[in-house]
Amino acid sequence: MSKHQVIQPGATLGVLGSGQLGRMFAIAARRLGYRVHVFSPDDDTPAGQVADLEVRADYLDVDQVEQFAKQVSVVTFEFENVPAEATTACEKHAPVRPAGSVLYTSQNRFREKSYLRDAGLPVTPFERVETLAALQTALARSGTPAVLKTANWGYDGKGQVIIRRPEDAAAAWATLNTDAAILEHFIDYESELSVVAARGLDGSLVTYGPIWNTHSHHILDVSVCPGPFSPTVQKNAVEIARAVLEKMDVVGVLCVEFFLTKTGDLLINETAPRPHNSGHLTIDAHATCQFEQQVRSVCGLPLGSARQHRPAAMANLLGDLWEPGPPNWSGPCGDPEVKLHLYGKREARPGRKMGHLTALADTPAEAERIVRTARNALHPTM
């Protein structure tokens, strides 16, 4: 297949990974007439429940990965922790979009930060550390507080610890139990925001946001769009996101997460080369959601409109909500401005993303109020 050939509806799309992002991608792909195969080490997964074929095998089983790629017209991925060996194996038989090189860069914090810094983009100051002695030396230069993060496989606050005093270095290093980490300066930020963007095979680009994000225990809690940012911040965030996708030559969807400092500067915290949790509100609030854009972009179709119908807010539903007993779904579903999205996961665990709520309203503040009230209604006696 030609590198620039459009993959028409009716073809089969392959997804590495089978969680909720793959599920929502598969639903969008089916609406456009595509078939979907998913590949992961698990079965009866959120994506597998709605896919045409669910392949269960290890990502490092190269023979199985290659066989999977032979049966599809294009391969994409729904989370960063897919080993690079898997995308390399797929590329022998089908285009991978975004390219495996994008995944390789984004899935390692040191490679990611170094790439962005060398491209002239604003990132949080960082140093690579591989030993406790190197950490202590880096702390002497940067001072405390600082944030120590594993270089690989981190998400939702996993693989990181705040060091508030130099004497806490040894305990922090032991907690991460790694030989590859980065130390970042602690940013005293005003707020966190994200820009979700899609870039087509022809280089065209559309963006959502900036989206205002609040976190709880390092996990995204509520997202609001439009965010309460000045025109200058909005313009700069979109321009930086555009530069990231263009410099990395992304074909697909990528999210850029930012810190907005108290002096009004934007610093890239991290990138995610796939649809993003903060962009889930686009399903209900925008003419074309982030998942349909992912389908369109990886298939080479023209991108859709990112026009927003109304202000919106999204609230995550974590497994903690199941601990007092089954949630009362009639509560949020009784509000005509609220949409419920559940991911089909079999087991609810604390911190596990089980679904989300989206609320639409006339103002962003009202949308946020509605979605928080709806989530509280899941357990009205609490």
Q: What is the CATH number of the domain that holds 81?
A: 3.40.50.20
Residue 89 forms part of a structural domain = yes
Please give the Cα distance from 294 to 15 (Å, whole number): 11
Tell me: do 46 and 133 sit in the same domain: no
Q: What is the CATH number of the domain that holds 129?
A: 3.30.1490.20
Tell me: do 220 and 307 sit in the same domain: yes
Tell me: do 214 and 318 sit in the same domain: yes
Residue 110 forms part of a structural domain = no
Tell me: do 130 and 51 sit in the same domain: no
Q: What is the pLDDT of residue 364?
A: 98
Is residue 186 within 8 A of residue 148, CB to CB? The reply is no
Tell me: do 366 and 263 sit in the same domain: yes
Name residue, tokens 């491209």: 119
Whole domain around residue 172: which residue ranges?
125-185
Axis-axis angle for helices 20-31, 290-299 (nearest 10): 70
Q: What DSSP letter does each residue of 143-165 carry, written as one string?
A: -SSEEEEESBS--TTTTEEEE-S
Residue 211 forms part of a structural domain = yes
Q: Tens digit of pLDDT per residue, the chain (382 long)?
A: 555 789 999 999 999 999 999 999 999 999 999 999 999 999 999 999 999 999 999 999 999 999 999 999 999 999 888 998 999 999 999 999 999 999 999 988 999 999 999 999 999 999 999 999 999 999 998 888 999 999 886 565 578 899 999 999 999 999 888 888 999 988 889 999 999 999 999 999 999 989 999 999 889 999 999 999 999 999 999 999 999 999 999 999 999 999 999 999 999 999 999 999 999 999 999 999 999 999 999 999 999 999 999 999 999 999 999 998 899 999 899 999 999 999 999 999 999 999 999 999 999 999 999 999 999 999 866 5
- The number of folded domains in the chain is 3
Domain boundary among 185, 202, 222: 185
Taking residue 246's Cβ as centre, other Cβ atoms within 10 Å add up to: 14
Tell me: do 287 and 160 sit in the same domain: no
Domain boundary among 147, 163, 185: 185
Q: Residue 92 is encoded by which pair of tokens?
A: 């022998």
Q: Residue 76 is encoded by which pair of tokens?
A: 């994409």
Residue 102 forms part of a structural domain = no
Tell me: do 178 and 141 sit in the same domain: yes
Distances (CA, A) of 151 to 62, 112, 179, 181, 335: 24, 9, 9, 5, 43
Q: What is the pLDDT of residue 262?
A: 93
Is residue 260 within 8 A of residue 336, CB to CB? The reply is no
Tell me: do 92 and 196 sit in the same domain: no
Residue 105 forms part of a structural domain = no
Tell me: do 173 and 195 sit in the same domain: no
Q: What is the CATH number of the domain that holds 372?
A: 3.30.470.20
User: pTM for the complete prediction?
Assistant: 0.94
Residue 356 forms part of a structural domain = yes
Please give the Cα distance from 163 to 379 (Å, whole number): 36
Tell me: do 371 and 251 sit in the same domain: yes
Please give the Cα distance from 221 to 376 (Å, whole number): 13
Tell me: do 74 and 217 sit in the same domain: no
Closest Cα partner for 59 from 77, 71, 72? 77
Q: Which residues pair with 3 in a beta bridge?
A: none
Tell me: do 180 and 202 sit in the same domain: no
Q: What is the pLDDT of residue 2?
A: 53
Domain boundary among 141, 166, 185: 185
Q: What is the pLDDT of residue 238?
A: 98
Residue 364 forms part of a structural domain = yes
Residue 118 forms part of a structural domain = no
Write out the E strands in 200-283: 205-216, 219-225, 252-261, 266-272
